[in-house]
């Protein structure tokens, strides 16, 4: 994960303007933002809806206005490829930090389900929750009567 976040940082650091020593803190903040985004994408990808947009909103202040379109395209491309890399093998038993993957649902007693999830984050017993999420996302909002 270290290499992934550093590659993202290096591709964005080229767009930072050269300036006084204060700009060095911009480099540090950019690096930390990239590391946080990659960490969250690796560990919480099901609840991180728009990672490219979230990262860009956090870092856009470090770049001049003329470079922001290029920066957004870099972020969108890199974060998209990182997300695809993490989603390529959804049957992983452990995430990138070494924690065992668990089902996203909770049991009737309120504890988190300990079973191994499928590609969508739910175990076979809780698969109906994933289907309900897909239906809710596909259906337009109901009209008030």
Is the pLDDT reported for residue 94 higher than 80? no
Beta carbons within 8 Å of 7's beta carbon, 6+ residues apart? 78
Name the more confident of 134 and 74: 74
Note whether 68 and 13 are same-domain residues: yes
Note whether 114 and 141 are same-domain residues: yes
Domain that holds residue 132: 102-145
Could you tell me if residue 93 is inside a domain? no
Q: What is the pTM of this model?
A: 0.62
- State the pLDDT at residue 93: 47
Note whether 124 and 76 are same-domain residues: no
Note whether 60 and 113 are same-domain residues: no
103-112: pLDDT as tens digits: 878 778 888 7
126-139: pLDDT as tens digits: 878 877 776 666 66
For 62-73, the three-class secondary structure string (H helix, E strand, C coil) is HCCHHHHHHHHH
Could you tell me if residue 50 is inside a domain? yes
Beta carbons within 8 Å of 29's beta carbon, 6+ residues apart? 59, 62
Could you tell me if residue 92 is inside a domain? no
d(CA 12, CA 71): 7
For the record, the structure tokens of 26 come out as 């911009």
Could you tell me if residue 95 is inside a domain? no
User: Could you please report the per-residue DSSP string of the chain?
Assistant: -HHHHHHHHHHHHTTSPP-STHHHHHHHHHHHHHHHHHHHHHH-GGG-S-HHHHHHHHHGGGS-GGGHHHHHHHHHHHHHHHHHHHHS-TT-SB-TTSPBP--SSB-TTSSBP-SPP-TTS--GGGHHHHHHHHHHHHSPPPPP-
Average pLDDT over all residues of the chain: 79
Q: How many CB atoms lie within 10 A of CB 135?
A: 9
2-57: pLDDT as tens digits: 788 888 999 998 888 876 655 568 889 999 999 999 888 877 777 778 999 999 99
d(CA 10, CA 34): 10
């Amino acid at each position: 994960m270290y290499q992934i976040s550093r590659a993202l940082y290096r591709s964005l650091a080229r767009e930072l303007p050269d300036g006084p020593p204060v700009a060095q803190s911009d480099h540090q903040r950019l690096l930390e933002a990239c590391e946080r985004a990659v960490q969250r994408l690796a560990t919480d990808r099901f609840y991180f809806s728009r990672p490219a947009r979230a990262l860009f909103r956090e870092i856009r202040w470090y770049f001049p206005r003329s470079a922001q379109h290029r920066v957004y395209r870099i972020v969108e491309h890199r974060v998209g490829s990182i997300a695809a890399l993490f989603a390529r093998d959804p049957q992983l038993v452990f995430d990138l930090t070494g924690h065992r993957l668990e089902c996203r649902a909770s049991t009737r007693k309120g504890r988190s389900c300990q079973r191994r999830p499928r590609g969508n984050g739910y175990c076979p017993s809780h698969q109906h929750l994933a289907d309900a999420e897909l239906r809710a996302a596909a259906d337009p909002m109901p009209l008030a009567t």
